[in-house]
A = this chain, B = another copy of it.
Amino acid sequence: MKSPFCRKTVKTFELKKYLKDKQQKVNAALEKLWEDAGTPPTPLIHAMRYSLLAGGKRLRPILCIAACEAVGGCETDVMPVACALELIHSYSLIHDDLPAMDDDDLRRGKPTCHKAFNEATAILAGDALLTVAFEILAAAGQRSERDSLLWLEVIYLIARAAGHSGMIEGQMMDLAAEGKALDLKQLEAVHRHKTGALLEVSVRAGAMLGGGTHQQIDALAAYGRHIGLAFQVTDDILDIEGKLEELGKSPGSDRAHQKATYPSLIGLDQAKAHARQLIGKALEELKILGKKGEPLTALACYIIERKR
């Protein structure tokens, strides 16, 4: 799905190379987290690494780094936050896949954590990924003595976004909505909680630690909100149009779970138009950044053009 805003950007900015470079750096940082763990690692760390290093898009870390760099900050400064966001995302996938929740067998083309190990290990690996996220954030904050108050604010915001008024509440709403007729407003509320909150805080935290002005931080947070919703609309579209080998999971699961989706509520064409509008709004917010906003522009376009 191409947006008229996006055609120009993709020409001048090499997104593929950018994504590959950032993914490699994030993966290297994630690999390093347990480099001093014993050999062989404990079964718990083995399961944590299995899910974490299964080859995700690393969208939240990349958004965080891109936002940091867009306001003049340095990639290495926010790498711990980038890692923490991916750890939290990864834990949420493990728990969402459990038999008591979405009961999924495949994730990123591999057996889900509870299928590869067992349910108890999957629950505990998720718990441990969530916990280590905060360990990493606190450790990074301690190293950065001068900005310790800023790091505490970032930890607070990430916990808010991931917790009972953000992502976890979104999963509760999503489970409660199965088989029910939601309207568009209710569906949007689910997504703003379930995926939007963590995507928004990824961008916001990057901008904060990159030294952005209040105006820049607010604009980037708004950008994060718009692309967060566009991301979910696109997920709904991919669940209809996507292919198993590209998605890494079975398409059609929304219908199987009788989930309300944008296409089911407003039709496929309208859903695509809605995603494009949201990306348009996101790009508006980037105007204050000038040329430094280029990677974020390309990332916004990628959100609705991706195949998985």
Contact = CB atoms under 8 A, between A and B. Distances in A.
B123 A163 contact: no
Contacts of A130: 127, 130-131
Given A120-B100, A172-B42, A142 B153 contact: yes
A156 B149 CA distance: 15
B43 A131 contact: no
A135 interface: yes
B100 A118 contact: yes
A10 interface: no
Copies of this protein, total:
2
Nearest to A119: B100
A135 B160 contact: yes
B163 A132 contact: yes
A120 B138 contact: no
A164 interface: yes
Interface residues of A, number: 48
A152 interface: yes
Contacts of A159: 131-132, 134-135, 138
A43 B172 contact: yes
A149 B145 contact: yes
> Which 6 A-B pairs have CB atoms at the shortest separation, nearest pair first?
A100-B119, A135-B159, A138-B156, A131-B163, A138-B155, A128-B164
22 contacts: A42-B164, A91-B127, A95-B127, A100-B118, A100-B123, A101-B120, A123-B123, A126-B127, A127-B130, A128-B164, A128-B168, A131-B162, A131-B168, A134-B134, A134-B155, A135-B163, A138-B153, A138-B159, A141-B152, A142-B149, A148-B148, A155-B155
Given A134-B155, A141-B152, 17 more contacts: A44-B164, A44-B168, A44-B172, A95-B127, A101-B123, A124-B168, A127-B127, A127-B130, A128-B164, A134-B134, A134-B159, A135-B156, A135-B159, A135-B160, A135-B163, A141-B155, A155-B155
